[in-house]
Amino acid sequence: MKLNIVTLVVIVVALLLFATYSMNIPWTPLRIVGVAIALPAFTLFCVARVQLGRSFSIEAKATELVTTGLYSRIRNPIYLFGAIMILGVIIWTGKPILLLIYAILIPLQIVRARKESAILAARFGDAYFDYKKKTWF
């Protein structure tokens, strides 16, 4: 529960900082598209984080196999929606050079997801393989 409260505080602070900064810049069509991509992705990212609950950790620990909510369809919704959110922010900034960071981030997330998958497979065995067959990424 403590980690969820910390996550909520970080989210609120990030949104307040973004809103404060955004009020002082012009809203171009590119910025609107970026926000239209980033905001729903950010919302789903937060939902996935809350649904993961106490199973959330920076390093994969495999304490529990979460298979409900967004996790009933997507094995790694935090990675997926985090990547979409970052893409929206990159579009919002209007600086295509930041796509280089994105080109590095995506393979790193894939490698991390594979490592987590191996840890979950070792810990939960057939239950994880059944879950994996029913979900995407």
Q: Are 55 and 75 in contact (CB under 8 A)?
A: no
pTM: 0.85
For the chain, which ranges sit under pLDDT 50? none
* Cα–Cα distance for residue pair 64/44, rounded to 1 Å: 21
DSSP code of 74?
A: B
**Per-residue pLDDT tens over the stretch 47-69:** 998 898 877 776 777 788 999 99
Q: Give the pLDDT score at 63.
A: 83
Distance CA(121)–CA(117), nearest Å, equals 6
Supply the pLDDT for residue 1. Answer: 55
